[in-house]
Homo-oligomer: A and B are copies of this chain.
Amino acid sequence: MSTSHLKEALDTLKQTGVRITPQRHAILEYLINSMTHPTADEIYKALEGKFPNMSVATVYNNLRVFREVGLVKELTYGDSSSRFDFTTSDHYHAICESCGKIVDFHYPGLDEIEQFASHVTGYKVSHHRLEIYGTCSECSKKEAH
C-alpha cells in the first residue's frame, strides 16, 4: 500500500527530472509512513539518525520541491510552524484542539460551495480548504475524569 505510494512518488520525481537523492527518498518515505502530518523540524529530527549531517535547509528545500511537483501539501494552522502532508486523494482534516492530533476524513460534493462563492464574490475559484476543530475521543475521555 504505502510502498506503492512511494513508488508512484519516485516515478513522479523521475518524470519531472528531479533527482532522487537518499535524503529525498527518506523524507518522502517518512512522510508517507507517518500519519502525523509532521513539521519540517520533526522530519529533520526523525531522520537525524540515518543522516547525521543533513541540514535543516535540505528538509525545507526538498519539501518545497515536493510541493512544487504536487506530491506534498503544506498546511498552516494557528501554531507557529507549517505541517506537511503527502497528497494521496482529496480529503479534509479534523484537528484536536487539545492534543493536536490530525485525522483525515472524506466528504464528497463540496464543489457546489465553490460555485456559490464564485458567484457571490466574482472570484475565479481554484480550490478550497476546510477543517474541523474539536476534541478527539481520547482527550474527551481524559476530560471526563
Q: Which residue numbers of A lie inside 8 Å of B, CB to CB? A: 74, 76-78, 92, 94, 96-97, 103, 105, 107, 110, 113-114, 116-118, 120-137, 140
The list of the 8 closest CB pairs from A to B, nearest first, reads: A125-B134, A123-B134, A122-B137, A117-B132, A124-B135, A94-B121, A130-B130, A129-B131
Whose C-beta in chain B lies nearest to the C-beta of A135? B124
Give Cα A105 to B116, complex, Å: 10
Given the complex of chains A and B, what is the CA–CA distance between A52 and B74 in angstroms?
Answer: 38
A136 to B121, alpha carbons, bound, how many Å? Answer: 8
Q: How far is the CB of A96 from chain B (nearest CB, A)?
A: 7
Our pick among B97, B103, B117, B132 for the contact of A94 (Cβ within 8 Å) is: B117
A106 → chain B, closest Cβ, in Å? 8
Which residues from chain B contact A77 at a C-beta distance below 8 Å?
Answer: 76
